[in-house]
Chain A
């Protein structure tokens, strides 16, 4: 369990905790039809609080926070709070905004377990490729996380509107190029750092498997006309692979990405 006394004593983490509680309150507000605008306001507050946390960490570390799992989660959280607003205003369905907000809260809470103080970059991470590689990952994983939540809702909501599935497919379509750029930037960086584009490192391998899954998703929907529950299931399975790529590989398998 995180040391809450320590976290409350630091400005950076205090704002992170405010972000967390604002998200939880937003989930509560979205649960009631009268709470829609309160929920939206709380999501805005959550975004501001996390933005402050990221800013303080950036100032303390002297660099953009990109170097470990916790810092990745900070940027991912920022993107997800923006995507809550996108889902809310594009789909105009309160249960969907509730679901994405709940998912964002769960992720933010889990990420707190990986907190570590800001440190200077080790030599292996001092490269422009760190920024491009990690940012493409943040964008790809953020879009896929929202597609996962919405796909889950679609599977359990018998009267889900058709535009939900269409929006899920759109998210995957937009995420896939970033997933591809993630692989490309990773391979190029590996060439400069380790002298080899590809070494079948567990992180590389699972990132490739993730790419395969979503490649299949795109092809089956676009060229085979797949639709309905099997597409939603494929979206769910795809993100489970993403979760293993991000958490499972870092925690269970050793490799060259150990500093992540």
Chain B
């Protein structure tokens, strides 16, 4: 046990350093020696569990619960190890009608809906997909699952098709919401588009029968220099710049995170075991047979 507590202390110290110095976090938490430290902690817990197994076999219920608590840590750790070694993550940006792969299956995006509260702020956003197993909805906190694959709603936005005119020259390009398009050669001034930041105006924009409103932002170094409202299909002259911008079309976009994590069932099993055994420890009475070991 002294070794275990010492290892806990070391892991705690390294964890604290990584949390207060973000620049070091990736290096620390991903380093081989930190993983080895965690492995040593799990090994120590495993040995402690084996030591508890014999007295727990014949002892009172509380000893069995203690054995399960320690054992659950090992189960969780083995599940995490499997997941860490073999996980795969992909992020896809999709629009209605797009298809994408989830494992061996091909899914089709049927629709993307933004749900709002009465004040216009976003309540939820839902991506409806057609899969070989039927229609599924993906929303934040409610991923879709198939086998070891999980598809999570990680973000949403709009993608715009833009026509720009300046001093007789024109250019057409695609621009995603809140990304900057450089207007000057040195990139000092940029153009960004987004749905109106005013929630109620944005809510009106979600209705396909309403004229689509776009907030046009002139930016510099991340700061907003100028904000103007534009309507899709109608050209907008940007103040004294001489720039004319027309947002020709926009389409709802959904960002989905596809995560393949084998061995997840082990982590779930370990967590359930831990919750059960901790609760048992709370409820079971202590007996004289629970002699503390040195």
Answer whether residue B124 sits at the interface, using C-beta atoms and an 8 A cutoff: yes
Partner of A123, one of B9, B22, B80, B123: B123
Answer whether residue A129 sits at the interface, using C-beta atoms and an 8 A cutoff: yes
Nearest-CB distance from A148 to chain B (Å)?
19
Partner of A195, one of B4, B11, B152, B294: B152
Partner of A205, one of B9, B15, B80, B152: B15
Interface residues of A in 208-222 (CB under 8 A from B): 208-209, 212-213, 215-216, 219-220, 222
Interface residues of A in 228-253 (CB under 8 A from B): 249, 253
Give Cα A220 to B281, complex, Å: 17
> B143 contacts A212, CB within 8 Å?
no
Residues of A within 8 A of B293 (CB): 223
> B80 contacts A195, CB within 8 Å?
no
Residues of A within 8 A of B22 (CB): 253-254
> B259 contacts A196, CB within 8 Å?
yes
Interface size on A, residues (CB 8 A): 42
Nearest-CB distance from B11 to chain A (Å)?
7
Interface residues of B in 16-58 (CB under 8 A from A): 16, 18-20, 22, 25, 29
Interface size on B, residues (CB 8 A): 45
Give Cα A251 to B31, complex, Å: 28
Known contacts being A123-B123, A181-B278, A197-B267, is A205 close to B1, with CB within 8 Å? no
Give Cα A180 to B11, complex, Å: 17
Residues of B within 8 A of A1 (CB): none
Give Cα A222 to B62, complex, Å: 14
Answer whether residue B269 sits at the interface, using C-beta atoms and an 8 A cutoff: no
Partner of B292, one of A119, A129, A195, A223: A223
Give Cα A224 to B22, complex, Å: 37
> B143 contacts A192, CB within 8 Å?
yes
Partner of B150, one of A120, A181, A195, A253: A195
Answer whether residue B117 sits at the interface, using C-beta atoms and an 8 A cutoff: yes
Q: Can you name the residue of chain B whose Cβ is closest to the Cβ of A213?
A: B12
Answer whether residue A93 sits at the interface, using C-beta atoms and an 8 A cutoff: no
> A208 contacts B15, CB within 8 Å?
yes
Answer whether residue A206 sits at the interface, using C-beta atoms and an 8 A cutoff: yes
A-B contact pairs, 5 of them (CB 8 A): A120-B117, A193-B141, A197-B267, A216-B9, A220-B5
Give 9 nearest A-B pairs by CB, closest first: A127-B141, A223-B292, A202-B19, A123-B140, A195-B259, A205-B19, A177-B278, A205-B15, A120-B117
Given A184-B275, A189-B141, A194-B152, 14 more A-B residue pairs with CB atoms under 8 Å apart are A122-B121, A123-B122, A124-B141, A126-B124, A181-B275, A192-B141, A192-B143, A198-B80, A202-B20, A205-B19, A206-B16, A219-B1, A219-B4, A220-B5
